[in-house]
Amino acid sequence: MARDPLQTYRNKRRAEATPEPAGDEAPRNDEAAAPIFVIQKHDASSQHYDFRLEIDGVLKSWAVPKGPSTDPRDKQLAIETEDHPLDYADFEGVIPDAEYGGGTVMVWDIGPFDNARGADDNGRVKSLAEAWADGHLTVRLHGTKLTGGYALTHFRTEGDKRQWLLVKMDDDAADARRNPVSTADASVLTGRSTQQIADEEGDQP
């Protein structure tokens, strides 16, 4: 029997103590729908951006300390983290300080994406799941702040954590001067800043 991909997610969290999704909802099974990506700004003990891609019914996830860039010359460290449930994609709120991942979560960007990987020598295109397992993903994002191609490449492993590099591909959406991480610092779902999310959601159980 296949291992439950969300077991690690659940093991790290106390469902009764965090407002995050419990991870027990059935995965979406609409095969025709485009997969979604989300980038969540996470103001935890060290601030980072959680980059997530829907692959095989879960959100494959990376923590990107500096956030995504629109400059193809930037190579942003992306540390692989545990798979998250699909319904995490629109989670925005405050994880209590005492809990795993304690801090404020903002939905920084969200939208559909597609596999931008070209065919190999045999004319075959690797699926997203195969590309993730092999450590080299090429995706095209259709977000509000980020569009166009991004490459994610596994380049080293520390302990049991795969470390990847997230790099903007040099296409029409590449722009060395844009820097949306600093200029577009509000939720795409609610327009709120991290401080507003903390103020409005911080006291909920």
Q: Give 113-119's long-range contacts (Cβ < 8 A, gap of 24+).
A: 113/34, 113/35, 113/36, 113/37, 113/53, 113/54, 113/139, 113/140, 113/141, 113/142, 114/34, 114/35, 114/139, 114/140, 114/142, 115/139, 115/140, 116/140, 116/149, 116/169
Query: C-beta of 162: minimal distance to Mn ion in Å?
Result: 16
Q: Which is nearer to Mn ion, 59 or 188 (CB)?
A: 59
Q: Which is nearer to Mn ion, 42 or 168 (CB)?
A: 42
Residue 60 near Mn ion by CB under 5 A? no
Total number of residues binding Mn ion (CB under 5 A)?
A: 2
Q: Which is nearer to Mn ion, 42 or 140 (CB)?
A: 42
CA distances from 176 to 61, 64, 100, 179 (A): 25, 18, 35, 7
Q: Which of 50, 82, 83, 109 is in the footprint of Mn ion by CB under 5 A?
A: 50
Q: Of 14-22, 35-43, 122-130, 132-140, which segment contacts Mn ion by CB under 5 A?
A: 35-43
Residue 42 near Mn ion by CB under 5 A? yes
- Structure-token pair, residue 162: 């795969």
Q: Which is nearer to Mn ion, 50 or 82 (CB)?
A: 50
Which residues lie near Mn ion (CB under 5 A)?
42, 50
